[in-house]
Structure 1
Amino acid sequence: MTVEQLKDNFAAKGFDTEELVILSGAHSIGAGHCSSFKGRLTEPPQQITPAYRDLLNYKCSQGANPDVVNNVRDEDYATVAGIMPGFTSRVRKISNFLDNTYYHNNLAKIVTFHSDWQLLTDKEALGHVHEYADNATLWDLDFADSMLKLSKLSMPAGSKGEIRKKCSVINHYLY
Protein backbone atom coordinates (compact mmCIF):
# COMPACT_ATOMS: atom_id res chain seq x y z
CA MET A 1 0.00 0.00 0.00
CA THR A 2 1.01 3.60 -0.49
CA VAL A 3 1.03 5.90 2.52
CA GLU A 4 -2.24 7.42 1.30
CA GLN A 5 -3.85 3.98 1.12
CA LEU A 6 -2.55 3.19 4.60
CA LYS A 7 -3.94 6.45 5.95
CA ASP A 8 -7.31 5.82 4.28
CA ASN A 9 -7.40 2.26 5.61
CA PHE A 10 -6.71 3.43 9.16
CA ALA A 11 -9.10 6.38 8.85
CA ALA A 12 -11.90 3.97 7.91
CA LYS A 13 -11.43 2.46 11.39
CA GLY A 14 -11.26 5.86 13.12
CA PHE A 15 -7.47 6.18 13.38
CA ASP A 16 -5.46 9.21 12.32
CA THR A 17 -1.96 9.42 10.81
CA GLU A 18 -0.27 9.59 14.19
CA GLU A 19 -2.05 6.42 15.33
CA LEU A 20 -0.99 4.71 12.07
CA VAL A 21 2.61 5.52 12.93
CA ILE A 22 2.16 4.51 16.57
CA LEU A 23 0.63 1.13 15.78
CA SER A 24 3.20 0.45 13.05
CA GLY A 25 5.76 0.50 15.86
CA ALA A 26 4.51 -2.97 16.82
CA HIS A 27 6.74 -4.15 13.98
CA SER A 28 9.62 -3.92 16.47
CA ILE A 29 8.63 -7.51 17.34
CA GLY A 30 7.44 -10.55 15.44
CA ALA A 31 8.25 -12.06 12.09
CA GLY A 32 6.95 -12.10 8.55
CA HIS A 33 7.01 -14.64 5.76
CA CYS A 34 9.25 -13.77 2.83
CA SER A 35 6.18 -13.81 0.56
CA SER A 36 4.78 -10.85 2.51
CA PHE A 37 7.75 -8.60 1.71
CA LYS A 38 9.24 -10.03 -1.49
CA GLY A 39 8.90 -6.62 -3.17
CA ARG A 40 11.40 -5.21 -0.68
CA LEU A 41 14.06 -7.53 -2.03
CA THR A 42 14.41 -5.45 -5.21
CA GLU A 43 13.71 -1.93 -3.96
CA PRO A 44 16.36 0.75 -4.55
CA PRO A 45 18.83 1.98 -1.90
CA GLN A 46 16.71 5.09 -1.30
CA GLN A 47 14.06 2.75 0.14
CA ILE A 48 16.09 0.00 1.80
CA THR A 49 19.69 -0.13 2.97
CA PRO A 50 21.50 -2.50 0.56
CA ALA A 51 23.11 -4.50 3.38
CA TYR A 52 19.70 -5.09 4.96
CA ARG A 53 18.28 -6.09 1.58
CA ASP A 54 21.18 -8.58 1.32
CA LEU A 55 20.30 -9.96 4.76
CA LEU A 56 16.64 -10.39 3.77
CA ASN A 57 17.65 -12.09 0.49
CA TYR A 58 19.92 -14.45 2.43
CA LYS A 59 17.20 -15.28 4.97
CA CYS A 60 14.61 -15.83 2.22
CA SER A 61 16.95 -18.23 0.41
CA GLN A 62 16.94 -20.55 3.43
CA GLY A 63 13.77 -22.44 2.51
CA ALA A 64 10.28 -22.23 1.08
CA ASN A 65 8.84 -18.95 2.37
CA PRO A 66 10.63 -18.91 5.74
CA ASP A 67 9.79 -16.59 8.61
CA VAL A 68 12.13 -13.63 9.03
CA VAL A 69 12.18 -11.50 12.17
CA ASN A 70 10.89 -7.96 11.72
CA ASN A 71 13.72 -6.35 13.64
CA VAL A 72 17.42 -6.71 12.83
CA ARG A 73 17.92 -6.43 16.59
CA ASP A 74 16.46 -9.94 16.92
CA GLU A 75 18.62 -11.56 14.23
CA ASP A 76 21.39 -14.04 14.87
CA TYR A 77 24.58 -12.09 15.68
CA ALA A 78 26.81 -14.21 13.43
CA THR A 79 24.46 -13.78 10.46
CA VAL A 80 24.35 -10.01 10.91
CA ALA A 81 28.13 -9.88 11.39
CA GLY A 82 28.66 -11.78 8.14
CA ILE A 83 26.21 -9.84 5.96
CA MET A 84 25.90 -6.39 7.51
CA PRO A 85 28.75 -6.00 10.03
CA GLY A 86 28.05 -2.30 10.53
CA PHE A 87 24.80 -3.24 12.22
CA THR A 88 26.05 -5.72 14.83
CA SER A 89 25.62 -3.06 17.54
CA ARG A 90 21.84 -3.29 16.93
CA VAL A 91 21.67 -7.02 17.77
CA ARG A 92 20.48 -7.76 21.31
CA LYS A 93 20.48 -10.87 23.46
CA ILE A 94 16.82 -10.32 24.45
CA SER A 95 14.55 -10.73 21.44
CA ASN A 96 10.93 -9.75 20.85
CA PHE A 97 11.18 -6.79 23.20
CA LEU A 98 8.58 -4.14 22.38
CA ASP A 99 10.37 -0.83 22.18
CA ASN A 100 10.93 2.11 19.83
CA THR A 101 13.77 0.53 17.80
CA TYR A 102 11.32 0.25 14.90
CA TYR A 103 11.52 4.03 14.44
CA HIS A 104 15.33 4.10 14.50
CA ASN A 105 15.39 1.21 12.03
CA ASN A 106 12.86 2.90 9.77
CA LEU A 107 14.94 6.09 9.61
CA ALA A 108 17.97 3.90 8.76
CA LYS A 109 15.84 2.13 6.10
CA ILE A 110 16.26 -1.28 7.70
CA VAL A 111 12.60 -2.24 7.99
CA THR A 112 11.07 -5.34 6.48
CA PHE A 113 7.77 -4.18 5.04
CA HIS A 114 7.10 -1.71 2.24
CA SER A 115 4.33 -0.18 4.38
CA ASP A 116 6.96 0.68 7.01
CA TRP A 117 9.11 2.56 4.53
CA GLN A 118 6.02 4.34 3.18
CA LEU A 119 5.75 6.24 6.48
CA LEU A 120 8.90 8.13 5.49
CA THR A 121 7.21 9.48 2.34
CA ASP A 122 4.57 11.57 4.14
CA LYS A 123 5.55 14.77 5.96
CA GLU A 124 3.20 14.25 8.92
CA ALA A 125 4.00 10.55 9.31
CA LEU A 126 7.74 11.21 9.01
CA GLY A 127 7.47 13.82 11.77
CA HIS A 128 5.90 11.20 14.05
CA VAL A 129 8.58 8.63 13.13
CA HIS A 130 11.21 11.16 14.29
CA GLU A 131 9.16 12.00 17.38
CA TYR A 132 8.96 8.37 18.52
CA ALA A 133 12.58 7.62 17.61
CA ASP A 134 13.54 10.50 19.92
CA ASN A 135 11.17 9.70 22.79
CA ALA A 136 10.64 6.06 23.75
CA THR A 137 8.57 6.94 26.82
CA LEU A 138 6.12 8.97 24.76
CA TRP A 139 5.79 6.08 22.30
CA ASP A 140 5.15 3.62 25.15
CA LEU A 141 2.31 5.79 26.47
CA ASP A 142 0.82 6.53 23.05
CA PHE A 143 1.10 2.88 22.01
CA ALA A 144 -0.85 1.80 25.09
CA ASP A 145 -3.60 4.33 24.30
CA SER A 146 -3.75 3.29 20.63
CA MET A 147 -3.89 -0.42 21.51
CA LEU A 148 -6.75 0.26 23.88
CA LYS A 149 -8.59 2.10 21.09
CA LEU A 150 -7.81 -0.77 18.70
CA SER A 151 -9.18 -3.30 21.19
CA LYS A 152 -12.52 -1.49 21.18
CA LEU A 153 -13.14 -1.98 17.46
CA SER A 154 -16.15 -4.17 16.83
CA MET A 155 -15.68 -7.68 15.52
CA PRO A 156 -16.80 -8.52 11.99
CA ALA A 157 -20.39 -9.81 11.84
CA GLY A 158 -20.59 -13.49 12.73
CA SER A 159 -17.07 -13.66 14.17
CA LYS A 160 -16.24 -14.78 17.70
CA GLY A 161 -12.64 -13.65 17.35
CA GLU A 162 -9.60 -14.86 19.24
CA ILE A 163 -6.22 -13.70 20.40
CA ARG A 164 -3.87 -15.78 18.30
CA LYS A 165 -0.67 -17.30 19.59
CA LYS A 166 0.72 -17.00 16.06
CA CYS A 167 -0.81 -14.35 13.79
CA SER A 168 -0.98 -16.50 10.69
CA VAL A 169 -2.56 -19.56 12.36
CA ILE A 170 -5.95 -20.00 13.99
CA ASN A 171 -5.61 -21.38 17.52
CA HIS A 172 -6.66 -24.98 17.89
CA TYR A 173 -8.57 -25.83 21.03
CA LEU A 174 -9.07 -29.29 22.46
CA TYR A 175 -12.60 -29.41 23.83
Structure 2
Amino acid sequence: MGSRVCVSCFVAIMLLLMASARQTDAQLTSTFYDKSCPAALSTIRKAVRTAIAKERRMAASLIRLHFHDCFVQGCDASVLLDDAPSINSEKNAFQNFRSLRGFEVVDSIKATVEKACPGVVSCADILAVASRDASEYVNGPMWTVKLGRRDSITASKDLAEADLPIAFNDLDAQISSFAKQGLSVRDMVALSGAHTIGQAQCATFRGRVYNDTNIDAGFARMRRRGCPVSDGNGNLAPLDLVTPNSFDNNYYKNLIQKKGLLHSDQVLFNGGSTDDIVTSYSKDKTAFYSDFASAMVKMGDISPLTGSSGQIRKVCSVVN
Protein backbone atom coordinates (compact mmCIF):
# COMPACT_ATOMS: atom_id res chain seq x y z
CA MET A 1 0.00 0.00 0.00
CA GLY A 2 2.78 2.39 0.98
CA SER A 3 4.67 1.78 -2.26
CA ARG A 4 1.51 2.37 -4.32
CA VAL A 5 0.99 5.68 -2.49
CA CYS A 6 4.59 6.72 -3.18
CA VAL A 7 4.21 5.86 -6.86
CA SER A 8 1.01 7.90 -6.99
CA CYS A 9 2.76 10.81 -5.29
CA PHE A 10 5.64 10.59 -7.74
CA VAL A 11 3.29 10.59 -10.72
CA ALA A 12 1.39 13.57 -9.29
CA ILE A 13 4.59 15.50 -8.74
CA MET A 14 5.78 14.78 -12.27
CA LEU A 15 2.46 15.93 -13.71
CA LEU A 16 2.70 19.17 -11.74
CA LEU A 17 6.24 19.76 -12.98
CA MET A 18 5.20 19.10 -16.57
CA ALA A 19 2.26 21.47 -16.22
CA SER A 20 4.56 24.10 -14.72
CA ALA A 21 6.99 23.72 -17.63
CA ARG A 22 4.18 24.12 -20.15
CA GLN A 23 2.97 27.18 -18.29
CA THR A 24 6.43 28.76 -18.44
CA ASP A 25 6.70 28.07 -22.18
CA ALA A 26 3.26 29.60 -22.71
CA GLN A 27 4.19 32.85 -21.01
CA LEU A 28 5.73 34.22 -24.20
CA THR A 29 2.69 35.24 -26.18
CA SER A 30 1.76 38.14 -28.42
CA THR A 31 -1.22 38.92 -26.19
CA PHE A 32 0.73 39.09 -22.94
CA TYR A 33 -0.09 42.77 -22.23
CA ASP A 34 -3.60 42.86 -23.70
CA LYS A 35 -5.19 43.12 -20.25
CA SER A 36 -2.35 44.32 -18.01
CA CYS A 37 -1.21 47.17 -20.29
CA PRO A 38 -3.29 47.46 -23.47
CA ALA A 39 -1.53 50.71 -24.46
CA ALA A 40 1.96 49.16 -24.35
CA LEU A 41 2.45 48.31 -28.01
CA SER A 42 0.96 51.52 -29.40
CA THR A 43 3.03 53.58 -26.95
CA ILE A 44 6.26 51.85 -28.00
CA ARG A 45 5.42 52.14 -31.68
CA LYS A 46 4.70 55.87 -31.46
CA ALA A 47 7.97 56.54 -29.59
CA VAL A 48 10.01 54.47 -32.05
CA ARG A 49 8.54 56.28 -35.03
CA THR A 50 9.24 59.66 -33.42
CA ALA A 51 12.86 58.72 -32.69
CA ILE A 52 13.54 57.47 -36.22
CA ALA A 53 11.84 60.49 -37.77
CA LYS A 54 14.36 62.63 -35.90
CA GLU A 55 17.31 60.43 -36.87
CA ARG A 56 16.94 57.78 -39.54
CA ARG A 57 20.00 55.88 -38.29
CA MET A 58 18.15 55.07 -35.07
CA ALA A 59 16.27 52.26 -36.82
CA ALA A 60 19.47 50.26 -37.21
CA SER A 61 20.55 51.13 -33.68
CA LEU A 62 17.35 49.79 -32.11
CA ILE A 63 17.50 46.54 -34.07
CA ARG A 64 21.13 46.14 -33.06
CA LEU A 65 20.30 46.68 -29.38
CA HIS A 66 17.87 43.76 -29.41
CA PHE A 67 20.43 41.58 -31.22
CA HIS A 68 23.23 42.44 -28.79
CA ASP A 69 20.91 41.81 -25.86
CA CYS A 70 19.75 38.35 -26.96
CA PHE A 71 23.24 37.03 -27.71
CA VAL A 72 24.35 37.58 -24.09
CA GLN A 73 22.46 35.72 -21.35
CA GLY A 74 19.42 35.60 -23.63
CA CYS A 75 16.82 38.31 -24.30
CA ASP A 76 16.81 39.80 -20.80
CA ALA A 77 17.73 43.49 -21.24
CA SER A 78 21.11 42.87 -19.61
CA VAL A 79 22.68 45.02 -22.33
CA LEU A 80 20.92 48.07 -20.90
CA LEU A 81 22.42 47.86 -17.41
CA ASP A 82 25.01 50.43 -16.39
CA ASP A 83 28.06 49.65 -14.27
CA ALA A 84 27.27 49.06 -10.61
CA PRO A 85 29.08 47.46 -7.65
CA SER A 86 27.82 44.02 -8.69
CA ILE A 87 27.50 44.68 -12.44
CA ASN A 88 30.21 44.88 -15.09
CA SER A 89 28.20 46.49 -17.86
CA GLU A 90 28.01 44.86 -21.28
CA LYS A 91 28.16 48.39 -22.68
CA ASN A 92 31.91 48.20 -22.01
CA ALA A 93 32.48 45.14 -24.19
CA PHE A 94 34.64 45.99 -27.19
CA GLN A 95 31.79 45.01 -29.57
CA ASN A 96 29.56 47.60 -27.84
CA PHE A 97 31.80 50.32 -26.48
CA ARG A 98 31.26 53.63 -28.32
CA SER A 99 29.17 51.94 -31.03
CA LEU A 100 26.03 50.60 -29.35
CA ARG A 101 23.47 53.38 -29.16
CA GLY A 102 19.79 54.17 -28.70
CA PHE A 103 19.80 53.79 -24.92
CA GLU A 104 18.17 57.17 -24.43
CA VAL A 105 15.34 56.18 -26.77
CA VAL A 106 14.70 53.00 -24.78
CA ASP A 107 14.80 55.01 -21.54
CA SER A 108 12.25 57.44 -22.93
CA ILE A 109 9.95 54.63 -24.08
CA LYS A 110 10.22 52.94 -20.70
CA ALA A 111 9.38 56.16 -18.84
CA THR A 112 6.30 56.70 -20.97
CA VAL A 113 5.11 53.11 -20.57
CA GLU A 114 5.71 53.29 -16.82
CA LYS A 115 3.34 56.26 -16.56
CA ALA A 116 0.61 54.22 -18.23
CA CYS A 117 1.30 50.87 -16.55
CA PRO A 118 3.77 51.02 -13.65
CA GLY A 119 5.86 47.90 -13.13
CA VAL A 120 4.22 45.88 -15.91
CA VAL A 121 6.22 46.05 -19.17
CA SER A 122 9.78 44.74 -19.15
CA CYS A 123 12.74 46.46 -20.76
CA ALA A 124 13.48 43.18 -22.58
CA ASP A 125 10.07 43.27 -24.23
CA ILE A 126 10.51 46.94 -25.11
CA LEU A 127 13.71 46.02 -26.98
CA ALA A 128 11.93 43.23 -28.84
CA VAL A 129 8.98 45.40 -29.87
CA ALA A 130 11.13 48.41 -30.74
CA SER A 131 13.26 46.36 -33.12
CA ARG A 132 10.16 45.18 -34.98
CA ASP A 133 8.69 48.67 -35.14
CA ALA A 134 12.02 50.10 -36.32
CA SER A 135 12.13 47.61 -39.18
CA GLU A 136 8.59 48.41 -40.20
CA TYR A 137 9.19 52.19 -40.17
CA VAL A 138 12.07 51.94 -42.67
CA ASN A 139 10.09 49.66 -45.03
CA GLY A 140 11.44 46.42 -43.62
CA PRO A 141 9.56 43.24 -42.68
CA MET A 142 7.02 42.95 -39.89
CA TRP A 143 6.55 40.04 -37.50
CA THR A 144 4.46 39.15 -34.48
CA VAL A 145 6.51 39.71 -31.31
CA LYS A 146 6.06 37.20 -28.52
CA LEU A 147 6.00 38.91 -25.13
CA GLY A 148 6.33 38.11 -21.47
CA ARG A 149 10.09 38.39 -20.95
CA ARG A 150 11.39 39.69 -17.65
CA ASP A 151 14.55 41.68 -16.98
CA SER A 152 17.83 40.32 -15.71
CA ILE A 153 19.42 41.58 -12.50
CA THR A 154 22.87 40.69 -13.85
CA ALA A 155 25.04 41.52 -16.86
CA SER A 156 28.31 40.12 -18.18
CA LYS A 157 30.96 42.02 -20.09
CA ASP A 158 32.97 38.80 -20.36
CA LEU A 159 30.10 36.89 -21.95
CA ALA A 160 29.43 39.80 -24.31
CA GLU A 161 33.02 39.73 -25.54
CA ALA A 162 32.92 35.94 -25.87
CA ASP A 163 29.51 35.56 -27.53
CA LEU A 164 28.87 38.61 -29.69
CA PRO A 165 30.02 38.39 -33.33
CA ILE A 166 32.96 40.54 -34.39
CA ALA A 167 33.32 42.59 -37.57
CA PHE A 168 36.58 40.79 -38.37
CA ASN A 169 35.17 37.24 -38.13
CA ASP A 170 35.62 34.72 -40.90
CA LEU A 171 32.72 32.55 -42.02
CA ASP A 172 33.36 29.60 -39.71
CA ALA A 173 33.53 31.91 -36.70
CA GLN A 174 30.28 33.57 -37.75
CA ILE A 175 28.52 30.23 -38.14
CA SER A 176 29.83 29.06 -34.76
CA SER A 177 28.74 32.26 -33.02
CA PHE A 178 25.17 31.93 -34.28
CA ALA A 179 25.01 28.17 -33.76
CA LYS A 180 25.89 28.73 -30.10
CA GLN A 181 22.61 30.62 -29.82
CA GLY A 182 20.62 27.90 -31.60
CA LEU A 183 20.48 29.85 -34.87
CA SER A 184 21.03 28.17 -38.22
CA VAL A 185 23.27 29.22 -41.08
CA ARG A 186 20.22 30.56 -42.92
CA ASP A 187 19.20 32.49 -39.80
CA MET A 188 22.70 33.99 -39.70
CA VAL A 189 22.64 35.11 -43.33
CA ALA A 190 19.13 36.54 -42.95
CA LEU A 191 19.91 38.40 -39.72
CA SER A 192 23.11 39.80 -41.26
CA GLY A 193 20.80 41.50 -43.74
CA ALA A 194 20.01 44.04 -41.03
CA HIS A 195 23.21 45.65 -42.30
CA THR A 196 21.16 46.96 -45.19
CA ILE A 197 20.66 49.97 -42.90
CA GLY A 198 22.91 51.81 -40.49
CA GLN A 199 26.55 52.83 -40.39
CA ALA A 200 29.84 51.43 -39.17
CA GLN A 201 32.89 53.06 -37.65
CA CYS A 202 36.19 53.20 -39.51
CA ALA A 203 37.86 51.04 -36.85
CA THR A 204 35.58 48.14 -37.81
CA PHE A 205 36.30 48.22 -41.56
CA ARG A 206 39.82 49.67 -41.87
CA GLY A 207 41.40 46.23 -42.18
CA ARG A 208 38.97 45.27 -44.92
CA VAL A 209 39.43 48.33 -47.15
CA TYR A 210 43.23 48.23 -46.84
CA ASN A 211 44.01 44.53 -46.65
CA ASP A 212 41.23 42.35 -48.06
CA THR A 213 41.54 41.09 -51.61
CA ASN A 214 37.88 40.14 -52.14
CA ILE A 215 36.84 43.77 -52.45
CA ASP A 216 35.92 45.99 -55.37
CA ALA A 217 38.91 48.28 -55.98
CA GLY A 218 36.87 51.45 -56.51
CA PHE A 219 34.78 50.75 -53.42
CA ALA A 220 37.93 50.25 -51.35
CA ARG A 221 39.45 53.54 -52.57
CA MET A 222 36.29 55.45 -51.76
CA ARG A 223 36.04 54.04 -48.22
CA ARG A 224 39.74 54.70 -47.54
CA ARG A 225 39.16 58.43 -48.05
CA GLY A 226 37.08 58.55 -44.88
CA CYS A 227 39.18 56.01 -43.01
CA PRO A 228 42.89 56.93 -42.86
CA VAL A 229 45.45 54.26 -41.96
CA SER A 230 46.13 55.61 -38.48
CA ASP A 231 43.34 58.07 -37.71
CA GLY A 232 39.59 58.56 -37.71
CA ASN A 233 38.52 55.44 -35.82
CA GLY A 234 35.07 56.92 -35.21
CA ASN A 235 34.46 58.11 -38.76
CA LEU A 236 31.25 56.63 -40.14
CA ALA A 237 30.38 54.99 -43.43
CA PRO A 238 27.05 53.48 -44.53
CA LEU A 239 26.86 49.69 -44.45
CA ASP A 240 24.82 49.85 -47.66
CA LEU A 241 26.15 52.49 -50.05
CA VAL A 242 23.09 52.40 -52.33
CA THR A 243 20.08 52.76 -49.99
CA PRO A 244 21.56 53.29 -46.51
CA ASN A 245 18.31 54.48 -44.90
CA SER A 246 15.85 51.95 -46.33
CA PHE A 247 15.49 48.33 -45.38
CA ASP A 248 15.76 46.26 -48.58
CA ASN A 249 17.88 43.49 -50.10
CA ASN A 250 20.61 45.69 -51.58
CA TYR A 251 22.96 44.40 -48.87
CA TYR A 252 23.14 41.06 -50.69
CA LYS A 253 23.57 42.69 -54.08
CA ASN A 254 26.51 44.61 -52.63
CA LEU A 255 28.13 41.39 -51.42
CA ILE A 256 27.91 39.87 -54.90
CA GLN A 257 29.69 42.97 -56.21
CA LYS A 258 32.36 42.62 -53.48
CA LYS A 259 31.16 45.82 -51.84
CA GLY A 260 30.41 44.54 -48.36
CA LEU A 261 31.75 47.09 -45.88
CA LEU A 262 32.73 44.70 -43.09
CA HIS A 263 34.92 41.64 -43.44
CA SER A 264 32.24 39.64 -41.60
CA ASP A 265 29.72 40.72 -44.24
CA GLN A 266 31.77 39.85 -47.30
CA VAL A 267 32.66 36.36 -46.05
CA LEU A 268 29.01 35.46 -46.61
CA PHE A 269 29.73 35.64 -50.35
CA ASN A 270 33.25 34.46 -50.92
CA GLY A 271 33.07 31.03 -52.52
CA GLY A 272 31.72 29.38 -49.38
CA SER A 273 28.64 27.53 -48.16
CA THR A 274 26.49 30.66 -47.84
CA ASP A 275 26.93 31.96 -51.39
CA ASP A 276 23.69 30.37 -52.58
CA ILE A 277 21.65 31.95 -49.79
CA VAL A 278 23.11 35.38 -50.54
CA THR A 279 22.33 34.95 -54.22
CA SER A 280 18.75 33.92 -53.52
CA TYR A 281 18.14 36.89 -51.21
CA SER A 282 19.66 39.28 -53.76
CA LYS A 283 17.05 38.12 -56.29
CA ASP A 284 14.06 37.64 -54.00
CA LYS A 285 13.35 40.35 -51.44
CA THR A 286 10.18 38.59 -50.32
CA ALA A 287 12.14 35.47 -49.36
CA PHE A 288 14.67 37.57 -47.46
CA TYR A 289 11.93 39.44 -45.58
CA SER A 290 10.20 36.21 -44.65
CA ASP A 291 13.40 34.58 -43.39
CA PHE A 292 14.50 37.71 -41.56
CA ALA A 293 11.18 37.93 -39.73
CA SER A 294 11.33 34.24 -38.79
CA ALA A 295 14.91 34.57 -37.58
CA MET A 296 14.06 37.61 -35.46
CA VAL A 297 11.26 35.68 -33.75
CA LYS A 298 13.64 32.75 -33.21
CA MET A 299 16.30 35.06 -31.81
CA GLY A 300 13.74 36.62 -29.49
CA ASP A 301 13.17 33.17 -27.98
CA ILE A 302 16.76 32.83 -26.75
CA SER A 303 16.66 32.04 -23.01
CA PRO A 304 14.00 34.54 -21.89
CA LEU A 305 13.38 35.06 -18.19
CA THR A 306 9.73 34.32 -17.41
CA GLY A 307 7.43 33.68 -14.49
CA SER A 308 9.06 34.78 -11.25
CA SER A 309 12.60 34.93 -12.68
CA GLY A 310 14.31 38.30 -12.89
CA GLN A 311 12.23 41.42 -12.40
CA ILE A 312 10.42 44.22 -14.23
CA ARG A 313 12.89 47.09 -13.95
CA LYS A 314 11.47 50.52 -13.23
CA VAL A 315 14.44 52.11 -15.03
CA CYS A 316 16.14 50.05 -17.72
CA SER A 317 19.71 51.00 -16.81
CA VAL A 318 19.56 49.89 -13.15
CA VAL A 319 18.09 47.02 -11.17
CA ASN A 320 15.25 47.84 -8.81
1:70–1:158 CA distance, 2 compared to 1 (3 A): farther
2:215 equivalent among 43, 48, 51: 48
The code of the aligned residue for 2:258 comes to K
Matched, 1:118 2:287: no
Structure 1 residue 172: Cα displacement: 7.9
* Maintained 8 Å contact 1:3/1:122: no
Structure 1 residue 151: Cα displacement: 1.8
Identify unmatched segments of 5+ residues in structure 2: 1-168
Aligned position for 1:22: 190
| Percentage of matched positions with identical amino acids | 27
1:51–1:13 CA distance, 2 compared to 1 (3 A): same
Structure 1 residue 97: Cα displacement: 0.7
Structure 1 residue 65: Cα displacement: 2.2
The SS at the match of 1:129 is: helix
Matched, 1:34 2:198: no
Q: Distance in 1 between matches of 2:189 and 2:291?
A: 10
The SS at the match of 1:124 is: coil
TM-score by length of 1: 0.72
Aligned length: 143
* Maintained 8 Å contact 1:17/1:124: no
Aligned position for 1:101: 250
Identify unmatched segments of 5+ residues in structure 1: 75-94, 162-170
Structure 1 residue 37: Cα displacement: 1.3
TM-score by length of 2: 0.41
1:65 equivalent among 207, 231, 234: 234
2:179 equivalent among 7, 11, 20: 11
* 1:87-107 residue CA offsets vs partner (Å, 9 max, x unmatched): xxxxxxxx4111100000000
Q: Distance in 2 between matches of 1:49 and 1:97?
A: 23
Q: Distance in 2 between matches of 1:160 and 1:113?
A: 37
- Root-mean-square deviation (CA, aligned residues, Å) is 2.7
* 1:69-96 residue CA offsets vs partner (Å, 9 max, x unmatched): 111114xxxxxxxxxxxxxxxxxxxx41
Q: Distance in 1 between matches of 2:264 and 2:178?
A: 13
* Maintained 8 Å contact 2:200/2:237: yes
The SS at the match of 1:119 is: coil
2:303 equivalent among 149, 154, 158: 154
